[in-house]
Structure 1
Amino acid sequence: MSELCYLTAAEMARLVRTRQISAVELLEAHLDRIEQVNPRVNAIVTLVAERALDAAKAADAREPEGALHGVPVAHKDLASTAGIRTTYGSPLYAANVPDKDDLIVERLRRAGAVTVGKTNTPEFGTGSHTVNEVFGATRNPYDLSRSAGGSSGGAAAALAAGMVPLADGSDMGGSLRNPASFCNVAGLRPTPGRVPAPSEIAAWYTLSVPGPMARTVEDLTLMLEAVAGFDPRSPYSITEGFRRDPEQGVAGLRVAWSPDLGGLPVDPETAAVTATAPGVFERLGARVEQVDLDLSDADDAFRVYRAWFYALSFGELDGLGPNTAWNVERGRHVTGADLARAERLRSGLYQRMAGFFDTYDVLIAPVSQVPPFPVEQPHVSEINGVRLPDYLSWMRSAYWISVLHAPAASVPAGFTPSGLPVGVQIVGRPFADATVLRVAHAFEQATRHGERRPPL
């Protein structure tokens, strides 16, 4: 059963489609795995086993329709799921049961996926460490004393532990990429609008995007094909459908390598692992050049936009946790001049990076500046001797990229001497999601780090 749970989603879909296994058999294997390991990891916080069995039986009773027919999937507890508890990681919504699905959930269901439950997240996705007052902390399957990252930490841990082959995540400042890096799985922050996220209060907000998470890049691509596509409720929704890059490999591609994104502090163990990535690309035939970037304008822009969004989204709520309340309070002090400055900084950075991507096909860099830290630790306060001013600062390597409006993947890059996973970040020009996935797949196939399973 464990071996079945570690097949790729593509292989699971093929086996169900050709009737070599049933959707019920596949689901039961995963439910057994969840029962075995989830009490130690705390990744899936709402399990809907009976509902999932009904869906699997229905899948077996009809002809295969979508690309994910009969494949188990879990949804982040920020994504609304009709008839399934959705808490957003907040005690304020501990008993909340939505009456409709978010678009990404709806599209996965249409593709034939079977929902098994919801994955843990910090309150309203606030922070890159998955812990909340409703369900507690999610632990890293590779070392249960360590953080699984966040805010899609439950999704990443569930994938790594073999509880599901696919999971959706979301990413504002690294919330999809960081836990993928921490848990040795793959995740894609798509170009904003690739996977639409309709909103009734912040329809034009482009920093936060939903995206796919999986154990392999091929499965990321399969899932992206299922959830991408135009939706008129999102004003910046990309009109053309997603298409895979027909090219294979990276021979001849121009790869920019930045070990610290322009002077950010990086833990020595993380730096040592990510420093192996340029050599991999060179052996694959890419032209690699170390670059000296200046993305510092992204810091102010990100913080202003984020604070404004938090005040808009959660400013009317009482009883918020400290991290969410901290962001809301800063949002209440954002002025028109602040927003004008942020827009000017972001626009200038976008144009400079447009020129950068005229020279390079992709940028590679660390996903996170540190390896997984102790699960009891609220956040990282110091990196390589550099004190950090607040709980956000340790994720600048991820949230600076968010400001670029660019697709970015996290792919397993290796392990620290103590066996903690480290990911490499692959960033492409805006709208070049297919190129990013192509490069990520080539790196994954050359290194095979993602095949190392956690010692559960």
Structure 2
Amino acid sequence: MSAQDLIRETACTVVEKLRSGDVTPLELLDVVEKRIGEVDGQVNALPILCFDRARANAKTLMQKPAGARGLLAGLPVPIKDLTDVAGVLNTQGSPIFKDNVPARSDILVENLEGNGAVVYAKSNTPEFGAGANTFNEVFGATLNPWDISKSAAGSSGGAAVALATGMAWLAHGSDMGGSLRSPASFCGIVGMRPSIGRVAHTPAAGIDRNLGQQGPMARNVEDLALLLDAMSGDYAADPLSLPSPATSFLSAARSGHKPRRIAYSPNLGITPVDPEVVAITRKAAERFAELGVIVEEAHPDLREAHECFHVLRALDFAMSKAKLLREKRDLLKPEVIWNIEEGLKLTVDQITRAEAQRVAMTARTVEFFKTYDLLLTPTTIVPPFPIENRYVAECAGKRFENYVEWLGIVYALTLVCCPVLSLPCGFTASGLPVGVQIVAAPRGDAQVLAGAKMLEDILGLRGTTPIDPKVKK
């Protein structure tokens, strides 16, 4: 099998080849290194490479019997450049940390490597993951391979582009306000924000910080479920982490479990959405009716989402970054400074109000899912936008008050603690990808995966990636 053929194979297939001995982890590293050399200069997705470390770990892994190499069996996986990998540069997209090399890996990385992942690269991210457009002062911008004049979104833009171009079979991402869902939509791949605690990580700044979650990214639903299995598990060092379920997520994805009733919402009642995006996502949701599923237009009451997220996001930035503002202000980008300063201005009354709003919205959402098995909605409110735009300033005639507000359709679902997956569901008239969010009640990760696989089969879009970067004329 040629290197090009291997690049196009699914992660599940490649893992089977690893287990059978048809291919070795070292051979896969050669394949992916060659692919990076061919395409990454055009898109800038994987600016940090660690192939010496990867080959050393692969050789160690290969000393074990094939059946004892973990769920991923030696599959190469890149890690987002916000997460520590021992002995590898971790810049967080910031000049402040441009020379930072951690001595120990995050729990997430230790868990993945224990399950047979071979880390070979760090994927690009905006500074501290702030802003849904992947650019920073350390490495520059990551470009969308469907049209390199467009944004890959963010903050897991590097991971999404690596998948879309065949520089990765699976990738790690993280998500607070859509940070892996938005890039998945813009790049035509699959990304999932799991339930709180589903993926253990090393706590920082606060044990109970849960707006941000770590999650899997892949080119199809089954591959994503495989990675979620490899990422899952409880660890004492992360007290919020959940044990792995008795039934694997890959089995759940393949279960054929059909929802009885689903809801589609074009806007969650809180945001403008580009009409073309609405048309594409609505058409995709309505395809469930072909299976006898009831499809209705509805959504939970999320009217407080903008105010609530603004406060809780600002609080999170103040908790985690106030020291940097005091000591390194001149090295921070304007959006990060704004977030921290907004957090430092908060009163106890504002924080209390936001927490109460989150509790109320979550309770209403849980009640909503007593009627509907799944909720579908656009992942992003616009198609991929020009790379030179730092963010979306307006949509459908509405001008946004700040650089975060355009993300309401993703961060509203963050607030109500739901597992959410972004699935490719079609293309605009100009050939740019559009994603649809598939949502279930809290802890309903298995239902999300089963529904996503079912819709993926109906839509027939699996296999549209990887692609070579394109220049639109």
Which TM-score applies when normalising by structure 2?
0.94
**2:452 is equivalent to residue 440 of structure 1:** yes
Pick from 253, 259, 281 the counterpart of residue 260 of structure 2: 253
Runs of 4+, deviation exceeding 6 Å: none
Structure 2 partner of 1:358: 370
Equivalent residue number for residue 108 of structure 2: 104
Match of residue 285 from structure 2 = 278
CA contact (8 A) 2:76 2:118 kept: yes
Letter in 2 for 1:431: R
**Is this contact kept in 1: 2:39–2:468, CA < 8 A?**
no
Deviation of 1:274 after TM superposition, in Å, equals 0.8
Listed as ranges, the matches of 1:279-298 within 5 Å are 279-298=286-305
Encode CA deviations 1:362-417: one digit per residue, 9 max, x unaligned: 10000110111011111111101111111101111101110011100001011111
Provide the rounded CA distance (Å) in 1 between the counterparts of 2:360 and 2:201.
26
- Pair 1:376-2:380 in alignment: no
Q: Distance in 2 between matches of 1:446 and 1:250?
A: 14
Query: Which amino acid in structure 2 is aligned with residue 56 of structure 1?
Result: A
How many angstroms apart in 1 are the aligned matches of 2:392 and 2:246? 37
Match 2:341 to one of 326, 329, 333 = 329
**In structure 2, distance between residues paired with 1:199 and 1:54:** 28
3-state SS of 1:100 partner: coil
TM-aligned CA deviation for residue 250 of structure 1 = 5.2
Three-state SS of the structure 1 residue aligned to 2:48 is: strand
- Any conservation in 2 of the 1:255–1:286 contact (CA below 8 Å)? yes
Residues matched between the structures, number: 456
Q: Give the conservation status (yes or no) of the 8 Å contact 1:129–1:148.
A: yes
Say whether the 8 Å CA contact 1:128–1:150 is kept in structure 2. Answer: yes
1:111 deviates by 0.9
Alignment match, 1:5: 7
User: SS state of the match for residue 451, structure 1?
Assistant: coil
CA distance in 2, matches of 1:171, 1:110: 23
Aligned match of 2:401 in 389, 405, 423? 389
Aligned-partner Cα distance in 2 for 1:242–1:277: 31
Tell me whether 1:233 sits opposite 2:237 in the alignment: yes
- Which residue of structure 2 lines up, in the alignment, with residue 187 of structure 1? 191
What residue identity is the alignment partner of 1:63?
P
Q: Which deviates more from structure 2 when the two are superposed, residues 39-48 or residues 245-254?
A: 245-254
Partner of 1:420: 432
The one-letter amino acid paired with 1:138 is: T
The question of 1:127 aligning with 2:131 is answered yes
User: Where in structure 2 are there 5+ consecutive unaligned residues?
Assistant: none
The separation in 1 between residues aligned to 2:183 and 2:253, in whole angstroms, is 29
Match of 2:411 in 1: 399
Q: How does 1:10-25 map to 2 (within 5 A)?
A: 10-25=12-27
Residue 423 of structure 2 corresponds to residue 411 of structure 1? yes
Measured after TM superposition, the shift of residue 303 of structure 1 is 1.1
In 2, Cα distance between equivalents of 1:173 and 1:134: 23
* 2:273 aligned partner: 266
Contact 1:266 1:384 in 2 (8 A): yes
Residue 226 of structure 1: SS of its match in structure 2? helix
Identity of aligned residues (%): 44
Question: Is the contact made by 2:259 and 2:373 (CA closer than 8 Å) also made in structure 1?
Answer: no
| 377-386 or 34-43, which deviates more | 377-386
Preserved CA contact (<8 Å) 2:43 2:144? yes
Equivalent of residue 304 in structure 1, options 300, 311, 315: 311
Q: Is residue 184–residue 450 contact of structure 1 (8 Å, CA) maintained in 2? A: no
Q: Does 1:47 align with 2:49?
A: yes
Matched position secondary structure for 1:289: strand
Distance 1:252 1:391, change over 3 A: closer
Does the Cα contact within 8 Å between 2:300 and 2:368 map onto a contact in 1? no
- Render the CA deviation track for 1:268-310: whole Å, top value 9, x for unaligned: 2212211212221111221111115431212211111110110
- Deviation per CA, 1:222-261: give whole Å up to 9, x if none: 1111111112222322245363338733545210110111
Letter in 1 for 2:323: E
The question of whether the paired residues in 1 share the 8 Å contact of 2:112 and 2:230 is answered with: yes
SS state at 2:179 partner: coil
CA RMSD of aligned residues (A): 1.4
Q: 1:115 pairs with 119, 127, 137, which one?
A: 119
- Shift in CA distance, 278/200, structure 1 to aligned 2, threshold 3 Å: closer
